[in-house]
Amino acid sequence: MRCPFCQNEDTQVKDSRPTEDKAAIRRRRYCPGCESRFTTFERVQLRELTILKKSGRRVPFEREKLERSLDIALRKRPVEPEKIERMCNSIVRKLESMGESEIESDEIGKLVMEGLETLDKVAYVRYASVYRNFRETSDFERLLGKMMNDDGKIGDGKVEDGKNEDGA
């Protein structure tokens, strides 16, 4: 593994252990060239995934982009990093197990929306505002209205593509 600091190709593994959800191996590494320490993660990759964008472009799937979008939606929210990692792992596993090597970007958006809806309602609304391209405050009002219970509290009625479980 090449050192990210000095590009030395002769780094040493000092510690290896599985992540909490057992989906990856976390390795602490040391570079004798610059004496830096860094962490790498080793994960199973079932297949190379390509994302089909709305524009028709095809781009390779990048887990880091998924992680960044989750980080943005969950910024300053009281959600444990382990839960975010588990959600990200779950989404990647679902994508890899779909049996398709080409996946539409909307499919990823739907999986992220499903995960955020159960993880954190505020992050769900933040992500929805970008994913659904909200332009006006009325867009937020509609989404929040569909999320409300009869008692005026945010409930767990599934909201998907602007529809609740009643199809409204």
Name the most confidently modeled range: 35-49, 58-72, 122-136: 58-72
Q: Is the pLDDT of residue 112 over 90?
A: yes
Report the alpha-carbon angle 72-75-81, nearest 5: 100
pTM as predicted: 0.64
So what's the pLDDT on residue 160? 44
Q: How confident is the model at residue 69 (pLDDT cuts 50, 70, 90)?
A: very high
d(CA 41, CA 24): 6
Mean pLDDT of 151-166: 46
pLDDT tens per residue, range 3-45: 999 999 999 999 999 988 787 899 999 999 999 999 998 877 6
Weakest mean pLDDT among 42-51, 74-83, 153-162? 153-162
Q: Which residue did the predictor score with more confidence, 165 or 10? A: 10
Contact 139, 132 (CB under 8 A): yes
Q: Which residue did the predictor score with more confidence, 113 or 20? A: 113
Mean pLDDT of 127-132: 85
Domain boundaries, the chain: 10-43, 51-147
Measured in whole angstroms, the distance separating CA 152 from the mean position of its chain's CA atoms is 29
d(CA 64, CA 59): 14
